[in-house]
Structure 1
Amino acid sequence: MSLAAGPGRGHVAVGQLPEELKLVVDKHVAYIQSLDTRKDELEYHLTEHLRIGGIYWGLTALHLLGHPDALPREGLIDYVLSCLCESGGFGAAPGHDAHILYTGYSVQILTMIDGFGALEERLPDCKQKIARFVASHQQPDGTFAGDEWGEIDTRFLFSALYTLSLLGYLPHQRPSEPPLINLPAATAYIKACQNFDGAFGVSPGAESHSGQVFTCVGALYIAGELDSYLGEEGKDRLGAWLSERQLPSGGLNGRPEKLVDVCYSWWVMSSMAMIGRLHWIDKAKLTAFILQCQDPDEGGMADRPGDMVDVFHTVFGVAGLSLLGYPGLVEVDPAYCMPRHITAQISK
């Protein structure tokens, strides 16, 4: 399925927005740059378990904002390498246990900054070793455990597939080699997570949730089975559920009867982009909602207007605006949450 810009993508007419609702690009760049200078604050140390994720979120936002070099490349490489474990996986911070989520973030960071050469010096055959770490966590039923302790989640399955895809180790990327993972079992598990409403839950029979829809739709897309599994009727049913996540404020929620949150500008719309139903969202109202969530003075975005900003909501707000075609932003890949011009270089 083509995810290129088309009738479903649309564009936002910035000239029609009031001045206070313009994207403050320079403020957002400065905000992200400042995050690593706050080491004297308690919050910095309390969020150590989010460090590698925070770097990925901030770096992705900078790429989409058109400032890919705003963070020092060598510093990024050094920090990511400091999170490398003997197993070939990466932890959330130096000294933390390896986990599939943080391994995925690390691979995304290294891909965006072209850092695998530096990693190769420390870990020869690094891509293969990382891929084997990921593959070693697949369970007999096709799911993936996040780490050696065995927690199962569709997030981990999706992370495993996109990580292997970026590394070039999915079965269809290496047809002449024995497959590292059982891809049919993985996609069968994802399909079992779909509910009667067309959406997906964290496990078979679990409540539908926008975040899990993204991981499941993304996994099927990366596996090359999204179109064949859903078909047009299935896409309509899922698209209807996703479009109902938009509330009168213009914002999106994760499931019925919940509050809007700017991060669902990504979880909902990325899925709608992958199934070709992005035009079912009121783009003007959502654009206005996202822009109301930014701090126009200090930069950054919050979950809702008036709340405290953080880098997590900043990247997904910016990525949401990219999906909406906001002028000046780099186009985002809805499956990988990375710049499309970078993922386009990957043999998928």
Structure 2
Amino acid sequence: MTMKWHFTLQLAGLLLLAYGEAAGQTPSLDWLDLEATSVHQITGVSVDGRTIVGIARDEAGRSRAFRWTAQEGVQNLGTLGGLRSKALGLSADGAVVVGVAEDRYGRPRAFRWTAEQGMQDLGTLGGLESEALGVSADGAVVVGVAEDRYGRLRAFRWTAEQGMQDLGTLGGNWSKAMAVSPKGTVVVGVAQDSRGRKRAFRWTAEQGMQDLGTLGGWESEAMRVSAEETIVGLAQDQKGVWQTFYWTPESGLHKLSHGHSAFARPGVALWGVPAISLNGQYLVGTIYHRAHHRVAVFLLDAPKLNLALREDRDRP
């Protein structure tokens, strides 16, 4: 089974929904000195907004994982011996980067990168391919998806001490870990249940994999988890329409209804998928200005970025 290289486009809606007029504070917007024409996608930003990671194109048009700081500029993180790589997440301070890179056999493999150790292949669960999609605040815990020895895709949690751990499924054949809490203790994602449905899950070492349910429909996906263990994702309602949800241990799963208007400007459109920092303060991405045919990279500093989510969660 060939693992697709992707970053879920639906995440854009989740990130933007975290910012709303209820924030009550005007965010600051900075334009970064970053060659947007070579940047294909922004996928992560550090909690101080000073380090950005994502996917760029090299001279041959191949995707390469990059890390950017104002001091060092764009840094090509290389590969595991192959031609392509993608950075898909970073630690709170930006020192640890995770993602997927081709090895010398052309196989996509999950990696963890630091300036001291370079790019490390995290291995698989007995199969050929793997992909790292999230990392804890301190960079010690990495989560993602990997093939087992039967070629099935399974959610994993990796640490240097324990290696790669198979998190199981909800009774089906596959699962995928999309994110991990800042402390590394809660993993969220999507897994197949015994009836073949995609279901959002929450995993902890104590409770294992828990089905978070839906909004009355059949399927759901969990995509982000906060330090307070609030989970955000997508779920089908009774009509089969996908809606954004939030879940907490106290209240369970509910529809997130608060809107946003931060990027509703004439002639300006988001290009690719914006990324959010672990502390919810910074939003980074690329925009396209139609009138000027210009692409630029922005950094939105919004101290109240998560306020809209919290206010919606507290509504009766």
Is TM-score (shorter-chain normalized) higher than 0.5? no
TM-score normalised by structure 2 residue count: 0.31
Judging by fraction of residues, say which structure has more helix: 1
TM-score normalised by structure 1 residue count: 0.29
Judging by fraction of residues, say which structure has more strand: 2
**Greater relative contact order, per chain length (Cα 8 Å cut-off, separation 6+):** 1
